[in-house]
Amino acid sequence: MNAPVRIDPETGLKVFNTRAAKASEKITGKGYSVTTDQKLKELPELPPGATFNAEEQAKYRAFKEARRGAADYINMEGEFKKYLDDVYSEPPIPREALTDECEILVVGAGFGGLLLWHKLSNAGFTDVRFCEKGGDVGGTWYWNRYPGIACDVESYSYLPLLEETGYIPSMKFASGFEILEYCQNMAQKFGFYDHCLFHTTVAATTWDEASGRWIVETDRGDKMRARFVILANGILTTPKLARIAGMEKFKGESFHTSRWNYNIDLHGKTVGIIGTGATAVQAIPELAKTVGQLYVFQRTPSSIDIRDQRATTDEERATWANEPGWARARRQRFSKISAGRSAIQANDDYLAGKIQEIKQPKQHERRLTEEELIQKQLDSNFRIMEQIRARVDAIVKDPKTAAALKPYYPYGCKRPTFHDEYLPTFNLPHVHLVDTAPRGVAEINERGVVHDGVEYPLDVLIYATGFQWMGTSTFNMVTGRGGRTLKEKWETEGTKTFLGLHSHGFPNLFIVTGPQGGGGSFNFTDAIDAHGDYLVWMLQAMRERGARIVDIRKEMEEAYAAHCRDVDIATAPLRDCISYYNGEGNAAPGSLAYYGGGKWHKHRVAAQSTLEPYVFEDRDSTVSAAAK
């Protein structure tokens, strides 16, 4: 057994052996299987006369306003801290605290960390160190192991480095368990494990002007120095709990979906699940197959689009084996259609390059204004939602339950979900929808949930209450130039970045897939890929010019942040609902993310060709990039 920390005799760099063992063999699972009932795999016809008229618009507004302010979440502190325990791995591998220096320190070992390592090491950057809170790689796919978990973006476009690993996902929508294994394969194949400190949470990252280094402190007592820090800490990684009176009193078992406790046997039990977002939609059909009674506490229904899951075909395997570049080409085609639900349905002929267009682009007699374009999108969006609502009526037998399961907001405003078994689950006699709209569950006692004066006694209570979006604790612990924290800067000035990757006053700090990071695609791997390529370019550019520090000009950052705000305001009607995407309706425009993919690339290309936004410093002096 190798020591947890040792020196590689060839490179003189430290290498690590800190990957924790699995906590239990009980943690196994699969994504949902292929549905054979054709009716469940197609949306019903559009109901006649469906138009987004004043009456329908008023219905959407009322639905939204009734929920305003209802979302109230608490941090998992004090007695709720137990919900954050790593239930998937054995305790941390003991190791010495590190006080040395590396060139690049990356926070996070999810897709972001793994892809960065592949790109950086290929570009010759090897003095790279990763810190990861969990006991193994995977990030999202390490923490989320609930039954039924699968990706929502087709796996052939979502999984990174498929050609480099020679791997073909088994299903169009691979299970989370398969994705986790794939992450482990990537880590093994590309030597990632040697570079990662697992069970190591970065607690503080502080810029030291004198040495031009970041000081990175962790919960393992490390105090490392790094020339560059990359935050690949994910933006859906901090689980959140709804604030519900009496929740600390509950005497049964309870956990959050992102720490699924497989030691609790759910067979035949009475189980309650709070929340009906993307996670719950995947977990509920699987839970229903196991538990005795299932109570689903819903505040706001999700849009349940078709899934149409299928296995990868032999023909696909054979074709891809002889088609160099297939995965990258497929992901690029995917990103071109990812503005609507077609992206997630993912037409195979188009994605495989067999046809060039999914549908003919509409020709208008004159160029439409931006407002007219948005109105057209709202109209077609409404028609999709009408079909999604009609699907509920077509499948769910009890009219009251069906009515409660119908969402009234624009498609994509909340995270869209896809499932062919979820709606039929509510026809099962042991599955009960408890409609807590519009304010949500307000009380929990020692026996279970109380709503509208009715007590629902439970053996197990599962919180499917989701994650903080973008507001990760990692962004809160960065202290830059002049002792200013990123948190304080963004709280007082509003979120300000350049390309989402840099923030003025935080030199040599790069953020992957953070706020304002653009990307323009439902497929996160697109943004991670683009950000990784950009970072390699930046580090190489700095090497070439002998620069040791890069910061961003304040005025360029202001202009980029203003652009994000403008795009956000222009497209706001498409996101007119209460959702974590818009900070439960409270986020300032442009502060979280915007979906301006093409524009993000335009800003990036301009920056890379003019170098105008950057201030590079060499060892002795500050030199503007353009002047050099």
* Options 76, 102, 151, 499; binder of ligand FAD; rule CB under 6 A: 151
Contacts of 14 (CB under 8 A, 6+ apart): 5, 6, 7, 8, 98, 100, 102, 129
Q: Which tokens sit at 544?
A: 């070439």
Contacts of 315 (CB under 8 A, 6+ apart): none
- Helix (H) or strand (E) run with residue 163 in it: helix 162-165
CB atoms within 10 A of CB 3: 12
Give the nearest distance from C-beta 108 to ligand FAD in angstroms.
3
* Options 161, 236, 296, 384; binder of ligand FAD; rule CB under 6 A: 236
Give the nearest distance from C-beta 130 to ligand FAD in angstroms.
9
- Binding piece for ligand FAD, criterion CB under 6 A, among 130-138, 308-316, 376-384, 545-553: 130-138
Give the nearest distance from C-beta 278 to ligand FAD in angstroms.
6
CB atoms within 10 A of CB 246: 13
Omega before residue 438 within 30° of 0, cis: yes
> How far is the CA of 56 from the CAs of 49, 61, 152, 408, 606, in angstroms?
12, 9, 29, 9, 43
Contact flag: residue 279 with ligand FAD (CB under 6 A): yes
Contact flag: residue 192 with ligand FAD (CB under 6 A): no
CB atoms within 10 A of CB 354: 9
| Per-position DSSP letters for 331-384, written without gaps between them | HHHHHHTTTSHHHHH--HHHHTTSSS-SSPPPP-SSPPPHHHHHHHHHHHHHHH
CA–CA separation, 329 vs 157, rounded Å? 9
Contact flag: residue 514 with ligand FAD (CB under 6 A): no
How many Cα neighbours within 13 Å face the side chain of 221? 5
Contact flag: residue 132 with ligand FAD (CB under 6 A): yes
* Options 107, 358, 615, 625; binder of ligand FAD; rule CB under 6 A: 107
Contact flag: residue 111 with ligand FAD (CB under 6 A): yes
| Per-position DSSP letters for 59-88, written without gaps between them | HHHHHHHHHTTT--EE-S-GGGGGGGS--S
Give the nearest distance from C-beta 401 to ligand FAD in angstroms.
25
* Options 102, 202, 229, 441; binder of ligand FAD; rule CB under 6 A: 202
CA–CA separation, 570 vs 517, rounded Å? 18
Residue in 444, 150, 176 with CA at minimum distance from that of residue 295: 444
Contact flag: residue 108 with ligand FAD (CB under 6 A): yes
Contact flag: residue 110 with ligand FAD (CB under 6 A): yes
Give the nearest distance from C-beta 144 to ligand FAD in angstroms.
4
Residue in 208, 209, 224, 201 with CA at minimum distance from that of residue 128: 224
Which residue, 140 or 175, has its beta carbon nearer to ligand FAD?
A: 140
Contact flag: residue 104 with ligand FAD (CB under 6 A): no
Which residue, 236 or 625, has its beta carbon nearer to ligand FAD?
A: 236
- Helix (H) or strand (E) run with residue 127 in it: none
* Options 474, 503, 508, 582; binder of ligand FAD; rule CB under 6 A: 474
Contact flag: residue 140 with ligand FAD (CB under 6 A): yes
Which sign does the torsion angle of CA 502, 507, 510, 511 carry?
Answer: negative
Which residue, 401 or 417, has its beta carbon nearer to ligand FAD?
A: 417
Main-chain dihedrals φ then ψ at residue 581, nearest 5 degrees: -60, -35
* Options 119, 133, 451, 553; binder of ligand FAD; rule CB under 6 A: 133
- Binding piece for ligand FAD, criterion CB under 6 A, among 78-86, 106-114, 404-412, 451-459: 106-114
- Binding piece for ligand FAD, criterion CB under 6 A, among 30-38, 131-139, 259-267, 500-508: 131-139
Which residue, 158 or 456, has its beta carbon nearer to ligand FAD?
A: 158
* Options 16, 142, 334, 614; binder of ligand FAD; rule CB under 6 A: 142
Confirm if 474 and 216 have CB atoms less than 8 A apart: no
CA–CA separation, 403 vs 621, rounded Å? 67
Q: What is the dihedral of CA 120, 132, 25, 463, to 10 degrees?
A: -120
Give the nearest distance from C-beta 521 to ligand FAD in angstroms.
8
How many residues contact ligand FAD, by CB under 6 A?
A: 32
Give the nearest distance from C-beta 466 to ligand FAD in angstroms.
8
Residue in 170, 175, 172, 141 with CA at minimum distance from that of residue 154: 172
- Binding piece for ligand FAD, criterion CB under 6 A, among 27-35, 227-235, 323-331, 362-370: 227-235
Confirm if 416 and 426 have CB atoms less than 8 A apart: no
Residue type, 277: G
- Binding piece for ligand FAD, criterion CB under 6 A, among 118-126, 127-135, 489-497, 502-510: 127-135
> How far is the CA of 389 from the CAs of 19, 35, 44, 342, 402, in angstroms?
46, 20, 9, 18, 9
* Options 63, 156, 158, 250; binder of ligand FAD; rule CB under 6 A: 158
* Options 35, 89, 144, 302; binder of ligand FAD; rule CB under 6 A: 144
Which residue, 126 or 468, has its beta carbon nearer to ligand FAD?
A: 468
Q: Which of residues 334-393 bind ligand FAD (CB under 6 A)?
A: none
**x/- letters, 61..100, toward ligand FAD (CB under 6 A):** ----------------------------------------
Contact flag: residue 134 with ligand FAD (CB under 6 A): yes
Give the nearest distance from C-beta 383 to ligand FAD in angstroms.
25
Which residue, 300 or 513, has its beta carbon nearer to ligand FAD?
A: 513
* Options 302, 377, 497, 523; binder of ligand FAD; rule CB under 6 A: 523
Contact flag: residue 136 with ligand FAD (CB under 6 A): no
DSSP type of residue 144 = -
> How far is the CA of 500 from the CAs of 432, 533, 601, in angstroms?
43, 14, 12
- Binding piece for ligand FAD, criterion CB under 6 A, among 135-143, 385-393, 394-402, 481-489: 135-143
> How far is the CA of 276 from the CAs of 303, 340, 423, 451, 462, in angstroms?
10, 22, 12, 16, 11
Residues that bind ligand FAD (CB under 6 A): 107-113, 131-134, 139-140, 142, 144, 151-153, 158, 201-202, 232-234, 236-237, 279, 474, 513, 523-524, 528
